[in-house]
Structure 1
Amino acid sequence: MIDTEAARYQIRVQGRLDGARLVRYAAVSICYVNNETVITTVLPDQSALYGFLNRLRDLGATLIAVERQEN
């Protein structure tokens, strides 16, 4: 089954990413915990999630975790 509903995700990456570089791609909330950037965003579908993760990769981010949160 393909998930076509919007969902909220919390994405953690290593280090401190520049929030200004991320807001160009999606509406995001960013906070920094220890040496991690915690990104919270609502994405419309799985395709958008993979696209966002690809953009993080292109920025050189090291992915720690992706968690789908209950709305």
Structure 2
Amino acid sequence: MNGIFKSLDDYQKPGLYEIRLKGHLDDKWTDWFDGLTFTREINGTTILTGPVADQAALHGHLRKVRDLGLPLISVFQVEPKQENLPHGNQHQS
């Protein structure tokens, strides 16, 4: 392969993700999101950040977001060394 495409194994590895939602989630939901960290911003968004085991687990989190009825703003896979960099330097999934 030419390096553009990832192998199926790459999608089965844990990754660090940032999921942005429109609206604030209360702390009572932290257990439901399997240890993701909640950050509520003053602009009314909630950021869920943390390790996600694989793509199946990511889709599970996204189903939970859907079930809560909060609009999904974005999903980013964040490189551990880039966790605190501005969003322009992260890769969108």
**Greater RCO (CA < 8 Å, at least 6 residues apart):** 1
- Report the aligned-residue RMSD: 1.1
- Equivalent residue, structure 2, for 1:48: 57
Q: Tell me, in whole angstroms, the C-alpha distance in 1 between the residues paired with 2:23 and 2:33.
A: 19
Higher gyration radius (CA): 2
Instruction: Give the structure with the larger strand fraction.
Output: 1
Please state how far the C-alpha of 1:19 moved relative to its aligned partner: 2.5
Counting aligned pairs with the same residue, the percent is: 32
- Equivalent residue, structure 2, for 1:67: 76
The answer to whether structure 1 residue 35 and structure 2 residue 35 are counterparts is no
Query: What is the TM-score when the length of structure 2 is the normalising length?
Result: 0.70
Q: Tell me, in whole angstroms, the C-alpha distance in 1 between the residues paired with 2:24 and 2:46.
A: 5
Q: Tell me, in whole angstroms, the C-alpha distance in 2 between the residues paired with 1:57 and 1:13.
A: 10
One-letter identity of the residue aligned with 1:16: H
Please state how far the C-alpha of 1:11 moved relative to its aligned partner: 0.6
* Structure 1 residue ranges (4+ consecutive) displaced by more than 2 angstroms after TM superposition: 22-25
Any gaps of 5 or more consecutive residues in structure 2?
1-6, 81-93
Please state how far the C-alpha of 1:24 moved relative to its aligned partner: 2.2
- Is the CA contact 1:26–1:41 (under 8 Å) kept in the aligned structure 2? no
- Is the CA contact 1:14–1:63 (under 8 Å) kept in the aligned structure 2? yes
Query: What is the TM-score when the length of structure 1 is the normalising length?
Result: 0.90
3-state SS, counterpart of residue 11 of structure 1: strand
The answer to whether structure 1 residue 18 and structure 2 residue 26 are counterparts is yes
- Is the CA contact 2:30–2:37 (under 8 Å) kept in the aligned structure 1? no
